[in-house]
Chains A and B, each alone.
Chain A
């Protein structure tokens, strides 16, 4: 088997009805496919949802995931995406408990660098919203450990295909 393991994103347009998430999740479990993240929300058409599934796997595995997903009756369309042919974003909420030493401007400077915004403040903590690609979120969380990282909630990637794609990059993976 060719080992070309990398992060791959699959976007699936699915029927928005009971049991669909179960069927998809069950497929992943049954076939031993490993998911890194999965996000689901309403799509542009009423009655349809879009799932963005991130996996770290080789091409053959991803190919199998795509085919098996597409075989599900409730899945309308499956699309392979990556950062070349799609815009990919993730949102994270990060709660910090900086304690006393670091000064407030220092923290604000750090948050600004990542274009984050403070969305909740208490006497002990502040919660920051930050979005971007996965590397950016990872970097933010790594650095946030210097400022009393307390809790993290991440959405996982959401992605949409780009409209203007140079021909040679359409065949992703």
Chain B
């Protein structure tokens, strides 16, 4: 038992969870926490301190924590004050929630006696965050804080990872109390996922072994469960081609002979067309969202779909009739399946199917086009060529993101981060900073659009002041390109509120923040700029002007079946 303040208890509890970095912004209601952070970090007795990265907007702080979590596989921590600080976090928490990323958010709250009085900067963040978190805590005594932290770090990364919010009233931060640090927490209705049901595993193994035309559809669940190796081993054992959802991009090496690349709204046309020809589709760790399947009623009507997910509520949610379903962690499921498949292995009887899949794969590897001016597609392709396979790429949201889906081959685990579920413009740059904090020695590149980058471009200050060098490639069409594309396709070219004009000058903007800015007009210039930027000790913004008319193709129109793509 120790006598200490709530804030000190919080910082000590974070240290016990091996937190090395937090991302946040101080304000009136969380000043005691920031005071304790400083004291903790300057005390000779505390060993390695907790680094705090000062964001310029709380949304960015949450994205940084999210990016850190996605790259490191650890919990990302962000902090904000009450009221506007807390509400600014929400977009970041919602982003993490939709993509199943383990983020812990710690917000200050007005003192307990003022709660409910509409005090200055009071907001019911617990109520507001409930829809975008796995759980929320509001400790009302300092002695409850270590339990809340322990519980948050237990809940956030386990089963299906999701954010957890801890809202601490200011007086609870300040008051001294008798503090104990629990080693475990117990939630009767929340246990780690049990081992996969062996009977169901056996059934699935028999089905895939007996199938003539199997396809594996891997989702983001593979990444969250760190099942990269297990997926590859299983696919190779089965000799089954693998496609991924957008969130699953990178779950399977995209240069692997069995990789069909991404499917879905902007997936590869040949892959989308091959899917309904499968007799078994083994879906692992994907919620089969509208962006992945197109109109669900038209999705592979003659295919038997097997659905494996860590979250039982995903079974039957979007796709109503899986022939078999298994609630399990992806890694455990794939390990068990491999064992079963190995035991029941029969000779190769899928040569024709695999050959057909190979033809699909080859069709999706496009020729290089020689062009004097840079296009969005070429920029992305070129980046793939220049960047080493271990480089981490984040994206914003829009056309550039979909060009990345189509043309940026992801090879190594945890090297591609994007907001797929919520589609949060402004995610990529702060997430890149979080990624760089997790892997300081790896080049990190935010492939951005000019519209999205403007949502969180003030994180340039953070990157410069905190010394977190990343590269931002702004694929700049001076448009909200994806909206403009939809207006071209579905609104008879009636452009509405999509023209961004020539402001800002991204080179000058970067320079104003003390970062490097460079504009490139050709492939050669882009190559040189990227090569320099990824070695630089300072963040570089590379502005790549492209045509405002370039589309992302192919595309599955909303509400269309998986085979009904617009190709040009």
Contacts and interface: CB of A to CB of B under 8 A. Distances in A.
Interface of A: 1, 19, 22-23, 26, 30, 60, 63-64, 67-68, 70-77
Contacts of B311: 71
Given A64-B313, A73-B187, 16 more contacts: A1-B320, A19-B126, A22-B127, A22-B130, A30-B131, A64-B316, A64-B317, A67-B316, A68-B313, A70-B189, A71-B311, A71-B313, A73-B135, A74-B189, A75-B189, A77-B189
A60 B322 CA distance: 13
Given A60-B320, A68-B313, A76 B189 contact: yes
Contacts of A67: 312-313, 315-316
Nearest to B188: A76
Nearest to A29: B131
Listed from nearest, the 8 A-B pairs whose CB atoms lie closest are A67-B313, A67-B312, A68-B313, A73-B135, A76-B189, A73-B190, A26-B130, A30-B131
Contacts of B404: none
Q: Looking at chain B, what size class is its interface with the partner chain? A: 10 to 19
B201 interface: no
A71 B311 CA distance: 8
Contacts of A76: 188-189
B94 to A, nearest CB: 12
A63 B155 contact: no
30 contacts: A1-B320, A19-B126, A19-B136, A22-B127, A22-B130, A26-B130, A26-B131, A30-B131, A60-B316, A63-B316, A64-B313, A64-B316, A64-B317, A67-B315, A67-B316, A70-B189, A71-B311, A71-B312, A71-B313, A72-B189, A73-B134, A73-B135, A73-B155, A73-B189, A73-B190, A74-B189, A75-B189, A76-B188, A76-B189, A77-B189
A63 B316 CA distance: 8
Interface string B127-152: 10011001110000000000000000
A166 to B, nearest CB: 26
Contacts of A26: 130-131
Contacts of B190: 73
Contacts of B320: 1, 60
A23 B313 contact: no
A152 B127 CA distance: 32
A170 to B, nearest CB: 20
Contacts of A71: 311-313
A70 B159 CA distance: 13
Nearest to A30: B131
Contacts of A30: 131
A52 B290 CA distance: 33
B325 to A, nearest CB: 11
A62 to B, nearest CB: 11
A29 to B, nearest CB: 9
Interface string B290-322: 000000000000000000000111011100100
